[in-house]
Structure 1
Amino acid sequence: MDVFDILDRLVAFPSVAGKPNGDIAGWIEAYLSGYGIQIALLPGPEGDRSNLFATIGPAGVPGYILSGHMDVVPANEPQWSSAPFTLRREGERLYGRGSTDMKGFLAAVLAVVPALAKLRLATPIHLAFSYDEEVGCRGVPHLIARLPELCAKPLGVIVGEPSGMRAVRGHKGKAAARVIVKGRSGHSSRPDLGLNAVHAMAGALSAAVSEAERLTRGPLDTAFEPPYSSLQAGVVAGGQSVNIIPDTCTLDLEARAIPGVDPASLLAPVRAKAEAYATEGFQVEWTPISAYPALSLPQDAALAGLLRDLTGEAPLAAVSYGTEAGLYQAAGFDAIICGPSDIDRAHKPDEYILASELAACQRMIEALGARCTI
């Protein structure tokens, strides 16, 4: 199978995050088993989805991990020009949900596997394919926890998120949470008898706006756009009718933090403000939604030098979006981003990748294989 056949098969699996993924993981497992590769399917605690880890070469020797996620975001937008889970090719463009983020990278890796399997690798190349990245990197921590039993400590992790095949050394960390305020309903003519949850949430929302403004003043890291950590309220919901005192209000918010700043700590002022309303009779629930740390690989790291050699370009300092790379680094492994396509095409109708981008990714992986050969 060539890279286009593989991408066609991968896109056909509607592997939306948060759903069972046995079909796509099983297909990849069967594909790899045909080349005599060591494979481990690693079920997560949910019981209906798995990470996949495979090794080409000697597992007991430090090597490199090619990391990607099998899940995609939903494809419910009406603007799709064709069925999102059917790969459509028009010239250089290959359309389909996940073609950019990030089944294109998976397809390029799998297309090179037959060549890698024929090499006498002194340094192993591992494949680490995760689940539920799109809902907060929920699957990969379970895979990372199993690495000590699966392989020697890796020399580095290449996370193939779309970066135009330009390696990237850094990204911000993220934390997201939901706060629910519950009050007491009643007729709007007697506000003294109720507890208006929307009014209480206004205090928490005001704290979020104030904190977001404060963060613009620093600390700063000019490698990023914007150069400061950020906080935003993304979803507010509450109330039924203008003449009913709303008894429930929900706020979803997120923080994105430059390296060196704990993203969860940025949400603390909002949480404190919301929970203070408990003293006034409200019930307040705070639930973390997702979190991952920032990535910050030093410019002089060996992995950065390797990617410079493999791609022919010096790695970029940072990007604004987040990846699983920060979790690998937090676990003690050097990590870097490098993958085909452009992040601006992701999570949109008519998502696409270019055939030339797939070819460039294959060349990079082939060059890595050559570096790892006896």
Structure 2
Amino acid sequence: MTDDSATAILADLVGFDSVVGTPNGAIMDYVAERMDRVALSCHRMTGPEGDRENLFATIGDPCRPGYILSAHVDVVPATEPDWQGDPFRLRRDGDRLIGRGACDMKGFVAAILAALPDLAAMHLSTPIHIALSYDEEAGCRGVPHMIAALPSLCAPPLGCIVGEPTGLAPVLAHKGKAAVAIRATGRAGHSSRPDLGVNAIHRLAPVLASVVSRAASLEKGPTDTRFAPPWSSLQAGIIAGGQAINIVPDRAEVLIEARAISGVDPEEVLEPVIAAADSCEVEWLSRYPALALPADAPLAALAERLAGRSPIGAVSFGTEAGLYQEAGVPAIVCGPGDIARAHRPEEYLRVDELEAATAMIRALGRGLAE
């Protein structure tokens, strides 16, 4: 007999090596098959990469305004040496369900799929939409294509619950983010004759100086005390270039990230840095806006009732919720687990957290039933 428990479904999901930036057809096949069992059709939308897709399904009448349950199915790589077992095989240790993505955020996907038979049996007067995306871990690259298709998929949604790990406490706000790669090209030569070459690393010096200066200025404000730190931030995260100490480097690259508080555009944070790039090549890697849901919004009250927890004002990590909000869909973040366990070896979700998330989704359905 097939085990349809949330724990068993999570084990199946963790078993898919759906690392960000890689094909995800196998895990989406699994989800679609689960939906087919309850006669639920889904829209599978291939992204421009050609080997990754988003998935969207509706329980109820898509022509009526409803609520979106949103999650991503990609995970960060699991190459850390401190794993005590195969990271893509769920292990249980007491009440801990251990595996890559168990917390971030296949646990929420498992909760949705476990609740699916109950939801499908309900006569929902207000529909529930399921939106699963790809490459969230690369800066929310997949979900914009699905959001752009929403007008053809359903009536304007009433709200979106993004199930990132928050301890099932509704989160009203998070920072936005933008990231760029800046590349400099020079001319190689022997280091004894730098006058005959062009040093690509040196050409990045004004960019790096701008990052340091801009980062310091951001600490002066504007600020929002709901965040830690309470200001927008900027940093150079990776720099690479050169072949040997005695060769003038002909190529160099720096990756730069901005995180912005609500009300600040992360792209604007990067403007002085882009200006300093001069003749360097600039590639935008990712962007998503900050989230800011008013505390008195109907979606905040709904999430509080469902989760049984008071809303949290803000968190500093980012999610796809800001993109839904930007598209006119009220959004909130509320899911099982703790973000501190994500992106680390021995990532885990507790059994009671998984069960609570499944119960929350079933409660949403009951509240929307005729």
Please give the alpha-carbon distance, in whole angstroms, between the structure 2 residues aligned to 1:187 and 1:49.
44
Please give the alpha-carbon distance, in whole angstroms, between the structure 2 residues aligned to 1:242 and 1:103.
45
Look up the SS of the partner of 2:276 in the other structure: helix
Please say which of residues 236-245 and 87-96 is displaced more in the overlay.
236-245
Matches within 5 A, 1:119-130: 119-130=122-133
Please give the alpha-carbon distance, in whole angstroms, between the structure 2 residues aligned to 1:182 and 1:140.
33
- Residue 74 (structure 2) aligns with: 71
Please give the alpha-carbon distance, in whole angstroms, between the structure 1 residues aligned to 2:266 and 2:131.
26
Structure 2 unaligned blocks of 5 or more: none
Please give the alpha-carbon distance, in whole angstroms, between the structure 1 residues aligned to 2:10 and 2:182.
40
- Residue 166 (structure 1) aligns with: 169
Q: 1:369 aligns with which of 345, 349, 365?
A: 365
Once the two structures are TM-superposed, the CA of residue 259 in structure 1 deviates from its matched residue by 1.3
Percent identity of the aligned residues? 57
The normalised TM-score by structure 1 is 0.97
Q: 1:356 aligns with which of 347, 352, 360?
A: 352
Q: 2:155 aligns with which of 130, 152, 156?
A: 152
Look up the SS of the partner of 2:343 in the other structure: coil
Once the two structures are TM-superposed, the CA of residue 267 in structure 1 deviates from its matched residue by 1.2
Letter of the 1:187 counterpart: H
Q: How many residues align?
A: 367
Asked if 1:208 corresponds to 2:204, the answer is no
Q: 2:93 aligns with which of 65, 76, 90?
A: 90
Task: Encode CA deviations 1:131-159: one digit per residue, 9 max, x unaligned.
Answer: 11111111101111111111111110000
Task: Encode CA deviations 1:182-211: one digit per residue, 9 max, x unaligned.
Answer: 111212122222211212212210110000
Please give the alpha-carbon distance, in whole angstroms, between the structure 2 residues aligned to 1:13 and 1:202.
43
Once the two structures are TM-superposed, the CA of residue 69 in structure 1 deviates from its matched residue by 0.5
Asked if 1:222 corresponds to 2:263, the answer is no
Asked if 1:305 corresponds to 2:305, the answer is no
- Residue 241 (structure 2) aligns with: 238
Contact 1:38 1:56 survives alignment (8 Å) = no
Please give the alpha-carbon distance, in whole angstroms, between the structure 2 residues aligned to 1:228 and 1:78.
34
Contact 2:168 2:309 survives alignment (8 Å) = no
Contact 1:187 1:244 survives alignment (8 Å) = yes
- Residue 200 (structure 2) aligns with: 197
Letter of the 1:289 counterpart: L
Please give the alpha-carbon distance, in whole angstroms, between the structure 1 residues aligned to 2:341 and 2:363.
27
Please say which of residues 300-309 and 196-205 is displaced more in the overlay.
196-205
- Residue 295 (structure 1) aligns with: 291
Letter of the 2:169 counterpart: R
Look up the SS of the partner of 1:51 in the other structure: strand
Look up the SS of the partner of 1:237 in the other structure: strand
Asked if 1:186 corresponds to 2:182, the answer is no
Letter of the 1:35 counterpart: V
Please say which of residues 168-177 and 257-266 is displaced more in the overlay.
257-266
Contact 1:79 1:349 survives alignment (8 Å) = yes
Please say which of residues 168-177 and 54-63 is displaced more in the overlay.
54-63
Look up the SS of the partner of 1:222 in the other structure: coil
The normalised TM-score by structure 2 is 0.98
Please give the alpha-carbon distance, in whole angstroms, between the structure 2 residues aligned to 1:121 and 1:347.
37
Asked if 1:249 corresponds to 2:255, the answer is no
**RMSD between superposed Cα atoms in Å:** 0.9
Structure 1 unaligned blocks of 5 or more: 279-283
Letter of the 1:327 counterpart: L
Once the two structures are TM-superposed, the CA of residue 38 in structure 1 deviates from its matched residue by 2.9
Contact 1:159 1:335 survives alignment (8 Å) = yes
